[in-house]
Structure 1
Amino acid sequence: MSETILVVNAGSSSIKFQLFAVESSNRLARRLKGQIDGIGTRPRLVAKDAKGACVVDQSWSTSDVAELPDALNQLVLFLRNYVGRLPVAIGHRVVHGGSGFSAPTVVTSSVVQQLERFIPLAPLHQPNNLAPIRIVLERQPQLLQVACFDTAFHRGHPDVADRYAIPETLYAEGVRRYGFHGLSYEYIAEKLREIAPEIAGGRVVVAHLGSGASMCALAAGKSIESSMGFTALDGLPMGTRPGQLDAGVVLYLMSEKGMSAKETEHFLYHDCGLKGLSGISNDVRELLASSDPRAKLALDVFTYRIALFAGMLTAALGGIDSLVFTAGIGENAPLIRRAVVERLAWLGIELSDEANEKSQTRISPERSRVACYVIPTDEELMIARHTLQILRENHSVEFKEKRA
């Protein structure tokens, strides 16, 4: 039986996972995709095989799967029954790697301690990303774990792109622009070499539009600028996050509204963005289906800001050869793509109505000066690739000794 690599993306009440088989010539084949959600409320495990057939749909009582360790136990039991043995390695998505982690890294207790320092910079993600890592370290210390960072792909930015106009002492402490969704952008950069090699070496703006949204400027497949900065609050409006915000608004909330730091943090991460603008929902599908003028306003602001940042990133690149849409909204919302491209007609971007409605790979006609693509992202495959590379590099290493 082939060796397998497990990819884990843990949230506050869910564990998303994918299992990849390592085949000949180190080719990765997706075997399972699933998640355990509703942890602590209505826990449920659902997984599908490579053909999309459901292989498990199991629920538990709240008391049986009350916390993340319980869910991880159930996932291990399922994998042992389905595959017959545990994976040879686990790759984890970790949102924030700071300035010190510029590449996928073998997890040790020391690494976890360093990554805990970034919890205040990614409070929605970092604690949940690290939780299963700690559990595996305690229970299966011999098992290779690899942390793959959303910030790593952006670490080659020029100094002018990473700096805020603040004193050097703060920059030295790590107050700088990091950028996120790097695993997604890395995948898109690689995929472009396959589907549009004439574009891949040029100037590309990628819009990763999901519940969390950001944009990235790629020059010859390398990130040179991003819409997100010090934290995942910056840049585009998102489902529940405001995006670019005058720092004076934060001061106003605290001084005039009497909000504490924690209250302000919760407000900015949970009550803003499309949800705050519309007062209806953070889900673009619901907003598109609504006749409420507040829903239209929220979507107008969203697409307006995407177009603004596209212009900014085009300036960083010194021009643009291609615009790529990816992630849940980018891949599945033709109306959003159209609204963005209409605002960018001045750049020479045109749409094919039929291709856009069908979400085809290329949605611009051949005459369009700037090519426009829809490319589904695959962050989990990138994590599996990085994990496999490190596994092969460390094939004869005793990982238990590394953690001592």
Structure 2
Amino acid sequence: MSGAGSNAVLVINSGSSSLKIALFELGVRPGGEPGLAERDGGERRVAEGAVTRMGSAEARAWLRAGNVRREQGGSWAHHAGALNVVLKWLDELVAVRPPAVGHRLVHGGPHVTAPARIDAELLTRLRAAVAFAPLHLPAAMAAIEAARARFPEVPQVACFDTAFHTTMPEIARRLPIPSALHDEGVRRYGFHGLSYEFVLSSLSSRAGEPLPARIVIAHLGSGASLVAVKDGKAIDTTMGFTPAGGVPMGTRTGDLDPGVLVYLARAKQLGPDAIERIVDRESGLLAVGGSSDMETLIDRSARDPGARLAIEMFGYAIRKAIGALSFALGGLDLLVFTGGIGEHVPEVRALACGGLEAFGVALDRAKNERGEHLVHQAGSPCAIRVMATDEERVIARHTYALLARAG
């Protein structure tokens, strides 16, 4: 059995059809001060697990604590049931109940961005914000309710992907729509903020390496977005009002001409639910290439024109976004690839960098194929770095820090 101390945090990261959990033990500085500054990195991962492909016959749950691993298949339709499976294993394998729980939420609406303790008032606000992220928030809310039922006396904290982007200037946040809609919260928010925060904190903690002034970070996975960071703060990003915008993704459209949605409503007589299904679940790589999985598309690409087109469209969209964000920054000092695809698929990195030499982006193809951490050519004015991300670790930091401040 593994153990964790009283300064442990259980993190629950809910996706639309999956969830991840991690149990961290966080350090304390000599003298009793919390060792939780953003750049400390003093956390120990005690256990971790996940449930994938919920709602399908291929759903699987696993949990690992130390050298012990539990795994099983299932047909969980909802996050609550799946979460209870991995939490039962956690009870069996780890000799402590978590004294705090942190949750990832994609969106908190226009009024909730900073990490916040979960209470009745916050839950009311989150329910009111479901329309801002209908694919993600219901799943996260179900996980919160399941965790509160299992740990009724344990303080729980919500951490928001949108928080990172609150530094964006009005020119990047405002949509060209009537002011009444803007005042109701219809604006550009940005997402993947917890991932971006981890990348920046990791870059900032590198000894002897000052944080570059102009950075583009590409978080590429089944959901994908890019952000422009100037002097450590977000100034623009590709996702907008919802996580459906920006570059095309595994099953999401990315940016569309708004007229497409009007056409679907008027000519095809589709209602909001049907349009939402097309935009969020039936489009992107899946629609073009027949699969939402990048590795599957790459395996098929030599013999399947649709798979090859999907890969090329994805790379092209990322390349355009890098160029646009570089322009917003006034140049580019560092390009970072992270997320499952960004970290592990060299073919996508090569497509994303091709033709960007005017921005100082020069990929070393041999280093890229070998999966090295630095993949730019020697002497290139723009460094290209490949990094792992860790949203759960950032959530643990915020949760511990907020509760420590509250006493």
Deviation at 1:350, TM superposition (A): 1.2
Query: Does structure 2 conserve the Cα–Cα contact (< 8 Å) formed by 1:326 and 1:376?
Result: yes
Length, aligned pairs only: 389
Question: Mean alpha-carbon deviation: is it higher for 184-193 or for 20-29?
Answer: 20-29
1:36-185 equivalence runs, <5 A: 36-37=51-52, 44-49=60-65, 53-58=67-72, 67-185=78-196
The equivalent residue for 1:401 is none
Equivalent of residue 386 in structure 1, options 379, 395, 398: 398
Query: Structure 2 vs 1, CA of residues 39 and 270 (structure 1 numbering), >3 Å: closer, same or farther?
Result: closer
Counterpart residue type for residue 69 of structure 2: V
- 2:253 matches 1:242: yes
- 2:299 matches 1:289: yes
The equivalent residue for 2:19 is 15
Equivalent of residue 367 in structure 1, options 363, 379, 399: 379
> How far, CA to CA, are the matches of 1:281 and 1:333 in structure 2?
16
Q: Return 5+ residue gaps in structure 1 as ranges.
A: 396-404
> How far, CA to CA, are the matches of 2:180 and 2:268 in structure 1?
30
Question: Which secondary structure state, in structure 2, belongs to the residue aligned with residue 343 of structure 1?
Answer: coil
Question: Which secondary structure state, in structure 2, belongs to the residue aligned with residue 365 of structure 1?
Answer: coil
Taking only the aligned residue pairs, the percentage that are identical comes to 40
Query: Structure 2 vs 1, CA of residues 112 and 296 (structure 1 numbering), >3 Å: closer, same or farther?
Result: same
Counterpart residue type for residue 50 of structure 2: Q
Deviation at 1:214, TM superposition (A): 0.4
> How far, CA to CA, are the matches of 2:385 and 2:153 in structure 1?
43
Deviation at 1:135, TM superposition (A): 3.0
Question: Which secondary structure state, in structure 1, belongs to the residue aligned with residue 243 of structure 2?
Answer: coil
Query: Structure 2 vs 1, CA of residues 76 and 304 (structure 1 numbering), >3 Å: closer, same or farther?
Result: closer
Query: Structure 2 vs 1, CA of residues 13 and 170 (structure 1 numbering), >3 Å: closer, same or farther?
Result: closer
The equivalent residue for 1:200 is 211
Query: Structure 2 vs 1, CA of residues 196 and 160 (structure 1 numbering), >3 Å: closer, same or farther?
Result: farther
Question: Mean alpha-carbon deviation: is it higher for 75-84 or for 232-241?
Answer: 75-84
The equivalent residue for 2:46 is 31
- 2:1 matches 1:6: no
TM-score, normalized by length of structure 1? 0.91
Query: Does structure 2 conserve the Cα–Cα contact (< 8 Å) formed by 1:92 and 1:147?
Result: yes
> How far, CA to CA, are the matches of 1:222 and 1:111 in structure 2?
27
Query: Structure 2 vs 1, CA of residues 327 and 73 (structure 1 numbering), >3 Å: closer, same or farther?
Result: closer
The equivalent residue for 1:273 is 284
Query: Structure 2 vs 1, CA of residues 242 and 143 (structure 1 numbering), >3 Å: closer, same or farther?
Result: same
Deviation at 1:201, TM superposition (A): 3.7
Question: Mean alpha-carbon deviation: is it higher for 100-109 or for 206-215?
Answer: 100-109
- Any runs of at least 4 consecutive aligned residues in structure 1 with deviations exceeding 6 A, and if so which? none
Please give the per-residue CA displacement for 1:135-187, whole angstroms capped at 9, x wherever unaligned. 33345332111101011100111111100111111111000000000001111
Question: Which secondary structure state, in structure 1, belongs to the residue aligned with residue 354 of structure 2?
Answer: helix
Deviation at 1:38, TM superposition (A): 6.0
Question: Which secondary structure state, in structure 2, belongs to the residue aligned with residue 48 of structure 1?
Answer: strand
> How far, CA to CA, are the matches of 2:146 and 2:295 in structure 1?
36
> How far, CA to CA, are the matches of 1:136 and 1:229 in structure 2?
30
The equivalent residue for 2:370 is 358
Deviation at 1:197, TM superposition (A): 6.1
Counterpart residue type for residue 159 of structure 1: E
Query: Does structure 2 conserve the Cα–Cα contact (< 8 Å) formed by 1:7 and 1:18?
Result: yes
Question: Mean alpha-carbon deviation: is it higher for 359-368 or for 69-78?
Answer: 69-78
Query: Does structure 2 conserve the Cα–Cα contact (< 8 Å) formed by 1:76 and 1:86?
Result: no
Deviation at 1:22, TM superposition (A): 2.5
The equivalent residue for 2:39 is none
Please give the per-residue CA displacement for 1:268-307, whole angstroms capped at 9, x wherever unaligned. 10111111122x1111111111121111111111111111
Question: Which secondary structure state, in structure 2, belongs to the residue aligned with residue 331 of structure 1?
Answer: helix
Please give the per-residue CA displacement for 1:113-141, whole angstroms capped at 9, x wherever unaligned. 11112222212211011112123334533
> How far, CA to CA, are the matches of 1:242 and 1:36 in structure 2?
25
Query: Structure 2 vs 1, CA of residues 42 and 315 (structure 1 numbering), >3 Å: closer, same or farther?
Result: closer
Q: Return 5+ residue gaps in structure 2 as ranges.
A: 30-34, 36-41
The equivalent residue for 2:32 is none
Please give the per-residue CA displacement for 1:326-375, whole angstroms capped at 9, x wherever unaligned. 00110011111111111212212112223211221111133111111101
TM-score, normalized by length of structure 2? 0.90
Query: Structure 2 vs 1, CA of residues 328 and 36 (structure 1 numbering), >3 Å: closer, same or farther?
Result: closer
Query: Structure 2 vs 1, CA of residues 184 and 136 (structure 1 numbering), >3 Å: closer, same or farther?
Result: same
Question: Which secondary structure state, in structure 1, belongs to the residue aligned with residue 9 of structure 2?
Answer: strand
